Structure 1
């Protein structure tokens, strides 16, 4: 079993599309879409979200559930569903962007992370695609660990490799950049448009700096499992 994940959106198409995308990176994770109203209009439905949470609780086999939402009332609907859930203590609501947070959470769950670490992976993404909070000052000076690794997988830095890097790094105590962009931002990594043969320059600062660089190195050398 893995942690279950529920995507709540005002649009059924957005929820289903986000789940479809995340499932490509995390095929073993139970992902449930809860979008739109009961008559398929734009909006949210307490009954639909509660049903999704209950389904996810069953599918996760007691491992817990993380819920992600899009806008305003979706958060309130999700909170209400959690209150009425059969096991509210096993459900966590992530403060994270729906699509990127969902992918990061799914990748973490695919790797066997527990519910708190899956929640942390989603929230590490933050809104706007980065991990830095407004009151944080970025580290300067020499990194604690670094490395240069050549992409060998045929498609380079597309969605799945980006998700694997970001999802794995999100659970580590380190600030990581890849070719100058946030290593925990799936969208920023994809925006590098790094093709096969491109060298990734990885810099990490913090307690898990060496572990983070080693993690990226292994992924790159294994071709992200695509060879």
Structure 2
């Protein structure tokens, strides 16, 4: 993991910056300070030896980023590099970012697993948010990958998005898949910001909503074919049924308001978690191969789930799992797994868990509630990959042969909804969950009533107990045991 060194003329200033930064590290990167000089009468200054020692104390194969306050701090840092071992010095980058904002941005990026160029870019761009808030022009970062610029002879086409939920995971997956084969340089823009439209992960960060105008720029030998394919897909609603006047028309089975009554079946589906472990360098290739094999097995699972969903519910539901399969084929993501194993000496389980949970966190931070709910999809994928790395494939939910039960659980993943039968499952009650999740969408498509956010339902029920789920009020009423009272629980 990239670590950080703060160089300042003032020990108190450096300690204050470190105190701010440490609130954001929380077990992530390490931070060292090199500040002031050992002169009680004149303590303000910098010492190259102190800087050298600070760098050595947090040296890491991933690199060290050094941030400085004033001119002579830069001179001391440059001298420290000359004093260091040559191999160590090559892993160090001096950064011109502002000390306070740059350090905070750097520790967040480093703790999230960013490599040295990414951490540097985040530090250099740390003033952008402040500049935007004050209405001042923001300087572009001086390092790191820039947004691709199409050549002057590039072509483009624009489209106003009609999909009520914008380019969420399914239409985004359609777009990425359609554009993938073309030999062309492509850039999708919204409000001047551009991403690679063949990356599902990058498309998500663009947060395209209904009413947004997007523009695809293309250059290269198959640029026109890519633009034509984009236009055709856009006119078809990016794979969804979209009416230009009324928005998207979704097919489904109407479920009348009211209630259901059935015996409870409590479920605790398998959830896998990786332990943090350090491997040797000799194990790196083997761990990378293990993870690639588990990812391939997971993609096979997702394709089978897509077929089952398509047969049972239709193409829109099948597209959920096709999108999941496309997401984990992303080369940037696979490269991040390999790099974490090689650079951090993390085992396959720890590497995939770190990267996918970081991705889930990015979805949770989005403004759009529909996109935020996609974090459950990422955790669903992670659970399957961890299963293939250890305990084996994730087994389907076991309902039994009863006449109809009320499933009670903390949370159900989208993949766990496939195979549920309306005649066997009268309703679902979750203590957690999200109304925008693909689990909820799949429940509606199967005509299975679902209520989410019923806090305490797991503690208040037991398998075999009769309970009533009121779909009008979102409440669960549990029959009293002999000699007791009924327990009522409401949707959160």
TM-score bracket for this pair, using the shorter chain length: 0.5 to 0.7
Q: Secondary structure at the match of 1:77?
A: helix
Q: Secondary structure at the match of 2:139?
A: coil
- Map of 1:50 onto structure 2: 52
Q: CA deviation at 1:63?
A: 1.5
Q: CA deviation at 1:7?
A: 0.3
- Map of 2:351 onto structure 1: none
Alpha-carbon spacing, 1:111–1:212, altered in 2? closer, same or farther (3 Å): farther
Q: CA deviation at 1:30?
A: 0.4
- Map of 1:36 onto structure 2: 36
How is 1:61-210 mapped onto 2 (pairs within 5 angstroms)? 62-86=61-85, 87-126=88-127, 129-130=130-131, 132-133=138-139, 205-207=193-195, 208=202, 210=204
Pair 1:9 & 2:8 matched: yes
Distance 1:5 1:212 in 2: 29
Pair 1:211 & 2:357 matched: no
Structure 2's unaligned 5+ residue stretches are 132-136, 141-157, 162-186, 196-201, 209-360, 373-492
Q: CA deviation at 1:120?
A: 1.3
Q: CA deviation at 1:109?
A: 0.5
Alpha-carbon spacing, 1:32–1:93, altered in 2? closer, same or farther (3 Å): same
- Contact residue 66 and residue 94 of structure 2 kept, 8 A: yes
Q: CA deviation at 1:174?
A: 10
TM-score with structure 2 length normalisation?
A: 0.29
Q: Secondary structure at the match of 2:22?
A: helix
Q: Secondary structure at the match of 2:49?
A: helix
Q: CA deviation at 1:116?
A: 1.5
- Contact residue 95 and residue 126 of structure 1 kept, 8 A: no
Alpha-carbon spacing, 1:110–1:67, altered in 2? closer, same or farther (3 Å): same
Q: CA deviation at 1:124?
A: 1.6
CA shift digits 1:120-172 (9 cap, x unpaired): 111122589448328xxxxxxx9x99xxxxxxxxxxxxxxxxxxxxxxxxxxx
Q: Secondary structure at the match of 1:38?
A: coil
Runs of 4+ in 1 over 3 A off after TM superposition: 126-131, 173-176, 212-217
Q: CA deviation at 1:205?
A: 2.1
- Contact residue 204 and residue 210 of structure 1 kept, 8 A: no
CA shift digits 1:43-85 (9 cap, x unpaired): 101111111011111xx3x111000001111111111112222
Q: Secondary structure at the match of 1:132?
A: coil
Distance 2:129 2:44 in 1: 24
Distance 1:128 1:37 in 2: 34
Distance 1:77 1:212 in 2: 41
Distance 1:77 1:120 in 2: 23
- Contact residue 174 and residue 204 of structure 1 kept, 8 A: no
Alpha-carbon spacing, 1:89–1:217, altered in 2? closer, same or farther (3 Å): same
- Contact residue 44 and residue 74 of structure 1 kept, 8 A: yes
TM-score with structure 1 length normalisation?
A: 0.60
Comparing 5-14 and 123-132, the one that deviates more: 123-132
Distance 2:57 2:126 in 1: 26
